[in-house]
Amino acid sequence: MTSDKIAIAEAEQLPDYELVLVISPEVIDEQFEATLDNVSRFITGRGGIISEIERWGKRRLAYPIKHFGEGNYVLAKLQLKPALGKELEANLKIADEVLRHLLIRVGS
């Protein structure tokens, strides 16, 4: 019972973030889901909480990225320790499937 209260208190202290991912259009459905699963496991495995994942689908890019004219967009709303933001971004930069990402802290 006490550990539940501590977990709730820690969750309330975590700042809110929004993460937008642009995933390569060449990625098949299984790889797409595996990429999202890897990102989710990274966040939740380090004490973060994902409240929502919106799949926006395939959209045209404003400019070519790595010779692609379109990409699969995903928006994730999450809570994460501020120190882990840099580590998450570093992992996303080396992921071949992720063309671009943007991690933004929401609120105060």
Residues 95 and 32: beta-carbon distance below 8 Å = no
Helix axes 29-45, 84-94, angle to 10 degrees: 160
Which stretch of 5-14, 26-35, 91-100 has the lowest confidence by average pLDDT?
A: 5-14
* CA distances in angstroms from 15 to 3, 31, 61, listed in the order given: 20, 29, 30
Q: What percent of the chain has pLDDT over 70?
A: 88
What CATH architecture is 2-106?
2-Layer Sandwich (3.30)
First to last CA, the chain: 30
pLDDT digits (tens, 9 = 90+) for 8-24: 555 468 899 999 999 99
Domain boundaries, the chain: 2-106
pTM assigned to the model = 0.84
pLDDT higher than 90, residue 107: no
